[in-house]
Amino acid sequence: MAKGKIFNRYNVLLIIMIAIFLAIGAKLYYLQIFNGQYYKDEAKIADNTHKVTIEAPRGLITDKNGINLANETPGYNLTYTDTTKSNKQLFANLQEVFSILDENKESQTDSFPLKIAPYRFEFSSSDPASIQSLLLDF
């Protein structure tokens, strides 16, 4: 009996698959080991927030007697995201936001446990250990 060919279609397919996985593995190794710190620094510096506006048009929702159950009054939430760039400009941004809200006579619901008016701290706990922990965290 004649010996089987070394380069039959299964061996060629196996060699191609191994070459592809080695190329992908080498690229991943290059990105994470050699350039890992560069990409980590870029992610910290980059502004990772994006403004997405989603229109939600709807009509008034009424019951069978014509009484409004839901209306189209817009509401907004202001959320603070902790980044190195935002930490440098926190108080300036807060003053700007509050001045814009005051100019437009908007109502404000504050659920932030620390008050900044100029730098006054109020805590929702009366336990001294909890207050000290919150102060250290801030």
Q: What is the DSSP letter of 96?
A: H
Is the model's pLDDT at 46 over the cut of 90? no
Query: For residues 21 and 100, which has the higher predicted lDDT (pLDDT)?
Result: 21
Residue 84 corresponds to which tokens in the numbers above?
A: 């190195």
- pLDDT tens for each residue of 59-69: 778 888 988 88
With CA atoms as reference, report the closest residue to 97 among 78, 84, 71, 111.
Answer: 78
Residues 79 and 125 in one domain: yes
Does residue 85 lie in a domain region? yes
In a domain, 56, yes or no: no
pTM: 0.34
**Would 31 be classed as within a structural domain?**
yes
Report if residue 65 sits inside a domain: no
Of 13-17, 40-44, 122-126, the range with the lowest mean pLDDT is 122-126
Instruction: Judge whether 24 lies within some domain.
Output: yes
Give the sign of the dihedral formed by CA 41, CA 44, CA 47, CA 52. Answer: positive
Q: Is residue 64 part of a domain?
A: no
User: Do 82 and 133 have their domain in common?
Assistant: yes
Question: For residue 26, what pLDDT band results from cuts at 50, 70 and 90?
Answer: very high
Burial of residue 30 (CB within 10 Å: 0-12, 13-18, 19+) is exposed
Contact 91, 80 (CB under 8 A): no
Domain count, the chain: 2
79 shares its domain with 128:
yes
Domain span at residue 95 reads 75-137
